[in-house]
Structure 1
């Protein structure tokens, strides 16, 4: 069996997402399994070169995992032809500049979202990458979750009939940081550092809606900063300048209406931290990160509204769980493998910079809708 090596510069792995999901659970997991298998049977083994601004942190991560290549000099890393792939998991505020350097160096690029801070910046990156002939991809991890893979299976099978609506709930209570440590970094709550739940989650919602139910044609949103003061990692209070909740109605093609609530100020009364309910003429489904349950029209009960009597039906018990019927890998790792095949064997990978542009555009439209109180229509892109 032929084995080849693909060097990848990994920038931003000292952060929570870059370290846990991309380095440990994706790249290192791929190394442990022997590489990514191509359609012709060739294995591609990944060779990471870690980049970070904090020399101590990046050196310690390398030591913990037996990696020998690390640096604080991004320019030097991008000049090494042994590493033709660049990955970015930095703060949004510094990502665009680094990706531009990678494009100028002729590197293929895989990046966390948002790919840039604005639609204009993201479009510029897409144009530059195309002009330079470098392959590019943006993380679309939610599409690889077991629950959403099952939901996609239902959509493709025609289970729903005509889809009418989608309702989504995402979020959990993020502690303010005074009496219990916050579960998210403080920059998430500072707009000047690229924070805000709209910028974070609308990029996700765009590709989930687009790939499962249809293109978003219009948005009406209301954002809020429910908790104005939080405490940072050093225990110091700071003003929260970014939104911590967003409530939106998305109008999709073919008349589908999606309502999605995103909040870091909500206590969970759900089976999972994110859930989507899809209702159609022939059936309904509720999908989370892992689980998906259905109720076809043939087994739909006939509730009757009567506030004078206590409800005796167990509505949750009337749904049927969708079986796995497959083994589901870590979603981040699965997309890493897909992008590696795209780079080396030119297999399809539709989640490029333009897909990232559409996510940023939806986030910007949501923020503008909230500011102006208007419904905003989106042109085809």
Structure 2
């Protein structure tokens, strides 16, 4: 069997997502499995090359996971003709410059999001990528997770009939850091460092809404900084200048031209009373479904109960028991790895990846408009981006 090897420069893998999801649970398992089988009978192997600014941490990770090559010199790595793919999981403020260099160096691109801090930068990056002829992919991990895969399958099968609405709840309590350590880095709560839940999550909600229901046409948002003071990694108090909650209402248009109302609450100052940290409920004329990242339950029109509001009597119906589990009907694999495999096959075939820098720009656009909507106190249209 003929084997082709793709050398992947992975920048930013000392961070939580870059290390856990992209290196540890995606590229290393693909490497250790011997690669991927391609339709033409060849084998596509991968060889990671680690890149980062902290020499000690990069060296330690490389030694721990038997990665032969690592570097703190991004320019030298991008100048290496043997490098095929550049992956970026750095902080957002570093991403535009690095992606621009990688595209100019002729490397295929796979990147986390947001791709930029500002919409104009994201659009310029998308134009550069579109003109390059390279295979460029943006991580849309949630669409590859079992719960949303099932939800999308229900949409494709016509289970919902005409979709009416989508409701989303995301978040958990992130400790302030004074007594118990915070679960997220302190820069997330400083606007001057690119923090804020709107910037972080609206780019996700844009591709989730597009991937499940349809394009976002309007946005109305209210943001808040519920916790004004937090403590950083050194135990020092600092003012939280970025929003830690965002409450959004969106008008969508389905591919069939139907209007759908979506509401998504995002908060790092909420305690969880649901089955998963994020859940989406889709209601339609013929049925409804509730999906998390892993589970999905549904209720058909014929099985919908007939509740009666009576404040004088306690409710005896067990509403959760009236829903049925949607089966996997397929092997469940880590969503990050599944998209990596799809992207790598696209690189091998020389074709575009379905989630590109334009889709990422729409996410940046929605975040900008969400912040503007909150500041202006009004609903805003979401214009189509044309490259």
Q: TM-score range by the shorter chain?
A: over 0.9
Is contact 1:221-1:249 (8 Å) kept? yes
Alignment-derived partner of residue 326 in structure 2: 322
Alignment-derived partner of residue 221 in structure 1: 221
* Separation (CA, whole Å) in 1 of partners of 2:136 and 2:352: 12
Alignment-derived partner of residue 170 in structure 2: 170
Alignment-derived partner of residue 242 in structure 2: 242
- Displacement of 1:347 in angstroms is 4.6
Which among 299, 302, 310 is matched to residue 298 of structure 1?
302
* Separation (CA, whole Å) in 1 of partners of 2:248 and 2:39: 41
Is contact 1:51-1:70 (8 Å) kept? yes
- Structure 2 gap ranges (5+): none
- Displacement of 1:279 in angstroms is 0.5
- The range that moved more, 233-242 or 159-168, is 233-242
* Separation (CA, whole Å) in 1 of partners of 2:248 and 2:21: 28
* Separation (CA, whole Å) in 1 of partners of 2:93 and 2:362: 18
Spell out, residue by residue over 1:38-87, the C-alpha distance to the aligned partner (whole angstroms, 9 max, x if none): 22232211111101100000000001001110010000110111112100
* Separation (CA, whole Å) in 2 of partners of 1:282 and 1:14: 47
* Separation (CA, whole Å) in 1 of partners of 2:382 and 2:84: 36
* Separation (CA, whole Å) in 2 of partners of 1:4 and 1:39: 13
- Displacement of 1:245 in angstroms is 0.4
* Separation (CA, whole Å) in 1 of partners of 2:49 and 2:240: 35
Alignment-derived partner of residue 187 in structure 2: 187
Alignment-derived partner of residue 344 in structure 2: 340
- Displacement of 1:31 in angstroms is 0.6
* Separation (CA, whole Å) in 1 of partners of 2:39 and 2:207: 26
Alignment-derived partner of residue 91 in structure 1: 91
* Separation (CA, whole Å) in 2 of partners of 1:376 and 1:137: 28
Alignment-derived partner of residue 208 in structure 2: 208
- Displacement of 1:136 in angstroms is 1.1
Q: How does 1:56-95 map to 2 (within 5 A)?
A: 56-95=56-95
Alignment-derived partner of residue 356 in structure 1: 360
* Separation (CA, whole Å) in 2 of partners of 1:348 and 1:34: 24
* Separation (CA, whole Å) in 2 of partners of 1:184 and 1:36: 34
Spell out, residue by residue over 1:208-228, the C-alpha distance to the aligned partner (whole angstroms, 9 max, x if none): 111110100000000011001
| 2:270 paired with 1:266 | yes
* Separation (CA, whole Å) in 2 of partners of 1:81 and 1:264: 43
Is contact 1:176-1:182 (8 Å) kept? yes
Is contact 2:134-2:352 (8 Å) kept? no
Instruction: Give SS of 2:166's match.
Output: strand
Q: CA RMSD in A?
A: 0.9
Runs (4+) off by over 4 Å: none
* Separation (CA, whole Å) in 1 of partners of 2:41 and 2:270: 47
* Separation (CA, whole Å) in 2 of partners of 1:199 and 1:159: 33
* Separation (CA, whole Å) in 1 of partners of 2:265 and 2:334: 25
Is contact 1:38-1:345 (8 Å) kept? no
* Separation (CA, whole Å) in 1 of partners of 2:147 and 2:352: 23
Spell out, residue by residue over 1:4-45, the C-alpha distance to the aligned partner (whole angstroms, 9 max, x if none): 100011000000000000011010011111112222232211
Alignment-derived partner of residue 378 in structure 1: 382
Alignment-derived partner of residue 43 in structure 2: 43
Which among 358, 362, 365 is matched to residue 369 of structure 2?
365
Alignment-derived partner of residue 131 in structure 1: 131
- Displacement of 1:148 in angstroms is 0.2
Instruction: Give SS of 1:256's match.
Output: strand
| 2:293 paired with 1:289 | yes
- Structure 1 gap ranges (5+): none
Is contact 1:197-1:245 (8 Å) kept? yes
* Separation (CA, whole Å) in 2 of partners of 1:194 and 1:63: 32
- Displacement of 1:348 in angstroms is 5.2
Number of paired residues?
381
* Separation (CA, whole Å) in 2 of partners of 1:367 and 1:101: 29
* Separation (CA, whole Å) in 2 of partners of 1:345 and 1:4: 12
